[in-house]
Structure 1
Amino acid sequence: MIKISSHDQFAAYLGKELGTSTWYQINQEQINKFADATLDHQWIHTNPEKAATDSPFKTTIAHGYLTLSLVPYLWQQIAEISKLKMEINYGIESLKFGQAVTVDSEVRLKASLKSILNLRGITKVCIEVVLEIKDQAKPAFTGEVLFLYHFEA
C-alpha cells in the first residue's frame, strides 16, 4: 500500500502503477441487496434458477454498477491518503464494461495515476482503473475515475 499525505507525494506517482487490491468475492446476497437498493431486479442478477437455464452464463451475474461501486473500497486497499480536510469522488472520464462478473467470482482493482492537477489547493487526480476477474483474461471493466483531495496545509 502506498501512503500519500500531500499533493507533491501524489505527483511523484504520475504515470506509474499505484498498486493492486486484494481479491474480493461477490456473492448472491450482495447482488440481491444491490438489486434492492437500486430497484434493478432483472432475473439475470437475482434469479439463480432462471439464470441456470436461460442465461448464457448459466448463473447469475453482478450488476455492472455493483462492480463499479466497489472502486472506493478497493482503492482504499491500494492507497492510504492522509492529512485530508476532504475527499470527493468527482467523476468518471471513461468506463467500459468488458466482461460479466458471475456470482461468487473474485475481483480486484489495479490502479495507475494518469494525471494530477493542483486546482487552487485542491488535488484532482485521474486514476486509471482495471477491475480484474480471477482466472479470466478479460477485465470486468476499465476506466478512469476522478478524485478530489483537499490536503491540510
Structure 2
Amino acid sequence: MKVVDFLKKKSEILAQHQFDLIDLKERIPPALLDHWSEFLNKANNIQIVNWAREHQFISIGSSNNKISSNKTTVVAKPIVLPEEAQKLLTQLSKQINEEIHIGEWMTIDQERINQFAQVTDDQQWIHTDPQRAKNESPFKNTIAHGFLTLSLLPTLTDSVNPEEPAYPSAKMTVNYGLNEVRFLYPVKVNSRIRAHTTLKSVTPIKRGLELVKEIRVEIEGTRRPACIAQTVLRLYF
C-alpha cells in the first residue's frame, strides 16, 4: 500500500471514531484538563502523523520529515511558577500524607437540617419528621442529609474564613471538585461533627497549584466517620 493511500485510510478511520477522544478525556488526570482544549485543536493535525510514526513511515523528530524508522523522545515543557507559588509548593511538598488541619466541632440541629431540606427540596421524612423517625427509623431519630455534611466541608475545614485565609499568598482559590465521596455513617440530629484534613498531593498547574486533600468528618462519640471525601482545590497566583 502506498503511503498516501495508507494515510488517507487512517484519516477516515479516525474520523469515524471521535468518541475515543471523549473516553480519553475521562481518563485524563485533573491537572492536565487545562490543556484539553489545546489538545483538541491540535488533534486533527497530529493523529495521522502519529499513525505514520507507529508504522515507522516517518519520524516526528527528523529535520526533514523523510521516511525513517528513528524513534522520537517527546519532552514536556516545564511549568514555570510565580515565585510565591514556588515557595508554597516547596512548603506543601513536605506535608504530603500529613494531617494538616483539625476543625472545630459543629452541632447539626434540626433547624439546620430543615433549612437544607427546604433549599434542596429533599423533604424525606428520615430528615424532617422527628416523630415518624422515632417510630419507624432504625436510627430512632432524624438524620442529616449526606449532601448537607458535604456542603459543610468548606466551613468545617476553615477554608472560607476571609480574615484568616489558608493560603494568603494566592490571588484566587477555586473549589475544583471532588475525586471521591463516601457517606459511611449517618449524622443523627444534635450530633457534633468536625473535619480532619490530610494533604494527599500538590501539583503545579498553569499559573498556580492544584491540591488534593482527603477530608474525614468525625462524629463525636462514634468510631466510624460520617464522610470521607477527596477534594480538589486550585490556587492561582
**Contact conserved, 2:101 with 2:157, CA < 8 A, in 1?**
no
Does 1:12 find its partner at 2:94? yes
1:62-81 alignment runs, 5 A limit: 62-76=144-158, 80-81=166-167
Separation (CA, whole Å) in 2 of partners of 1:75 and 1:101: 18
- Deviation for aligned residue 1:17: 1.1
Does 1:148 find its partner at 2:230? no
2:194 paired residue number: 108
1:28 paired residue number: 110
Separation (CA, whole Å) in 2 of partners of 1:10 and 1:121: 17
Which consecutive unaligned segments of at least 5 residues does structure 2 have? 1-84, 160-164
Larger Rg: 2
2:168 paired residue number: 82
Q: Which amino acid aligns with 2:198?
A: S
Aligned residues: 148
Greater strand share, structure number: 1
**Runs of 4+ with >6 A deviation:** none
Superposition TM-score, scaled by structure 1 size: 0.90
**Higher RCO structure (Cα 8 Å, ≥6 apart):** 1
Does 1:123 find its partner at 2:209? yes
- Deviation for aligned residue 1:8: 2.9
For residues 106-144 of structure 1, the C-alpha deviation after alignment (integer angstroms, 9 at most, x for no partner) is 001001110110102221110011001000010001121
Q: Give RMSD over aligned pairs.
A: 1.9
Separation (CA, whole Å) in 2 of partners of 1:139 and 1:114: 18
- Deviation for aligned residue 1:7: 3.2
Separation (CA, whole Å) in 2 of partners of 1:59 and 1:18: 34
Compare 114-123 and 11-20 and name the one that shifted more: 11-20
Instruction: Describe the SS at the equivalent of 2:194.
Output: strand
Superposition TM-score, scaled by structure 2 size: 0.59
2:119 paired residue number: 37
Greater helix share, structure number: 2
1:91 to 162, 177, 200: 177
